[in-house]
Amino acid sequence: MAHEIDYKVYGNEMQFVEIQLDPGESVIAEAGAMMYMDDGISMQTIFGDGSDSGGGGLGSKLLSAGKRLITGESLFMTVFTNKGPGRRQESFAAPYPGKIIPINLQEYDGKIICQKDAFLCAAKGVSVGIDFKRKLGVGLFGGEGFIMQKLEGDGWTFIHAGGTIHERQLASGELLRVDTGCLVALTKTVKYDIEMVKGIKSVFFGGEGLFFATLRGPGTVWLQSLPFNRLADRILSLGGNSGRKEEGSLLGTLGNLIDGD
């Protein structure tokens, strides 16, 4: 059983979530996600996610933590526990512009699947693992969507995504094709795979990548309008150009000519 926590999300584009912990309650989070915490909250670094509640030996804990390496995350997670006499607040901030999505796992049959870097924090007792796919296409060509995390349990979990978030309900058999980077999360009833873009011209001149995710309902999917990799690529492409450059205008080019560039 996951700890029962209360929360409040603050902000618009640069959000953070404040978790309210009763005495003895705990929340787990990725390293570096903490924003602030009240006096009386203790912080402990653990292997894995602590969902085994102390059960299992060292081998099982190492296996649980080792799986996190596959998703590119740290071997360790941080547990924040309220050891004070009254209610205390603990907050976690989003790493880049976007939205924090609160999800009660009880409403989705105890499991959702999300992008490997989407998880922010959760009530202690929620298990954070990886979702394997046996299909060769998903294994080799998934891009951002290849290695997915699975969040299991009966408590609140919080994931983060970039830009605007769109929650879409898929009917039974309904098919949706999505850019792999724009897929944030999906419920366990949604079947997903990776499909190659058809047509040689689309592959080389389409500008949308070689592969996209195919999602087939029934179930719920969450999509993001601005994947972080897309934002980073745009910043890097603009950062390599020095001088006075204004997008959508010839002023930058003329200015560089005047400067002798």
Closest CA to 179 of 220, 219, 221, 149: 221
- As a residue count, the chain comes to 261
Whole-angstrom distance, CA of residue 6 vs CA of residue 27: 11
Per-residue pLDDT of the chain (261 residues; tens, 9 = 90+): 788 899 999 998 889 999 999 999 999 998 888 999 999 999 998 876 666 654 555 565 566 555 556 655 666 789 999 998 999 999 999 888 889 999 999 999 999 999 878 999 999 999 888 886 545 454 444 444 457 889 999 999 999 999 889 999 999 999 999 988 899 999 999 998 887 776 544 444 444 456 788 999 999 999 999 887 777 777 777 765 544 444 444 444 444 544 445
Give the pLDDT of residue 65: 56
DSSP-based three-state secondary structure for 10? strand
The pairing of strands 148-152 and 127-131 is antiparallel
Residue 120 pLDDT: 93
Quick check: 5 and 19 in contact, CB under 8 A?
Answer: yes
Cα–Cα distance for residue pair 27/124, rounded to 1 Å:
5
3-state secondary structure of 135: coil
All domains in the chain, ordered by first residue: 6-239 (3.60.160.10)
Residue type at 201 in one-letter notation: K
pLDDT of residue 132: 64
pLDDT of residue 109: 94
